[in-house]
């Protein structure tokens, strides 16, 4: 990284831990346990939040399909459904609720020996999306309804020019996670939160009563993100 590149400071950083398949014997240690360790013992929640990665980046409901038609047509992007794999016999007694967690996740150690075309297709798609956005001209970000920091764009363009084999799939996933927060709103996916989450994660209901009409609104507060969930009115007749 060249010294002339300057970056804007931020108030808070979000660290996302990649999900691992639950059949991997280290899945819990390197996901939930690691996240809690980082959040409680290493990271200050005022400056850093540790979360699990979202499972729907490459689905129809994900951020890829909120960026407009131009990028979809140019990169020939397609949506991937939920990937389900058969369970080994030794795990047949495991609760069925784990099936919902086996989505767009890192394959287990044993599965690297099996065909993983879908997984690699998703990683390749993430890399292509990152390259497209980084090399976008002035009009393309407007069509995608996003803005790109010039210093970040020039830095990555330089890296790609210097080494055409630079790895872009992981940073592409990171970009999609960031866009997911902005373009897709909140989800019910389990988050890693500190011991006392009520201060930072809560649902607020506001009620305003007038003699003839009552209004109420529901806001979900998750750290520094506020999601407008519902709004209604009804006749008070007070």
Domain co-membership, 143 together with 204: no
Domain assignment present for 220: yes
Domain co-membership, 208 together with 177: no
Domain assignment present for 3: no
Domain co-membership, 101 together with 27: yes
Domain co-membership, 59 together with 133: yes
Domain assignment present for 190: no
Domain assignment present for 67: yes
- Could you report the average pLDDT of every consecutive run of 10 residues in the chain (238 residues)? 54 80 81 86 79 79 87 89 53 44 48 61 92 91 88 91 89 87 61 53 84 88 73 87
Domain co-membership, 76 together with 135: yes
Domain co-membership, 77 together with 150: yes
Domain assignment present for 129: yes
- Domain total of the chain: 2
What string of H, E and C letters represents the secondary structure of 23-65?
CCCCCCHHHHHHHHHHHHHHCCCCCEEEEECCCCCCCCCCHHH
Task: Residue 219: give the domain boundaries.
Answer: 200-235
The pLDDT, as a whole number, for residue 126 is: 92
Identify the CA nearest to 109 among candidates 182, 26, 41: 26
The pLDDT, as a whole number, for residue 205 is: 87
Q: Which residue has the tokens 């979202």?
A: 54
Domain co-membership, 207 together with 149: no
The pLDDT, as a whole number, for residue 99 is: 46
Note if the pTM is more than 0.95.
no
Domain co-membership, 151 together with 214: no
Domain co-membership, 18 together with 61: yes
């Amino acid at each position: 990284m060249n010294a002339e590149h300057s970056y804007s400071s931020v108030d808070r950083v979000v660290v996302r831990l990649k999900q691992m398949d639950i059949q991997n014997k280290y899945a819990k240690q390197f996901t939930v346990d690691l996240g809690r360790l980082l959040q409680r013992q290493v990271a200050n929640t005022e400056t850093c939040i540790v979360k699990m990665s979202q499972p729907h980046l490459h689905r129809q409901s994900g951020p890829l399909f909120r960026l407009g038609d131009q990028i979809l047509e140019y990169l020939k992007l397609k949506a991937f459904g939920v990937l389900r794999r058969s369970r080994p016999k030794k795990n047949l007694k495991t609760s069925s609720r784990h099936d919902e967690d086996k989505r767009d996740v890192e394959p287990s150690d044993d599965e690297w020996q099996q065909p993983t075309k879908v997984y690699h297709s998703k990683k390749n798609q993430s890399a292509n999306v990152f390259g497209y956005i980084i090399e976008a001209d002035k009009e393309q970000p407007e069509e995608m309804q996003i803005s790109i920091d010039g210093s970040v764009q020039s830095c990555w363009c330089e890296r790609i020019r210097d080494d055409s084999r630079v790895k872009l799939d992981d940073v592409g996933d990171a970009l999609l996670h960031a866009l997911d927060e902005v373009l897709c709103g909140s989800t019910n996916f389990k988050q890693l939160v500190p011991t006392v989450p009520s201060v930072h994660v809560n649902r607020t209901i506001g009620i305003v009563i007038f003699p003839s009409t009552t209004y109420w609104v529901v806001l979900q507060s998750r750290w520094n993100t506020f999601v407008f969930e519902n709004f209604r009115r009804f006749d008070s007749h007070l």
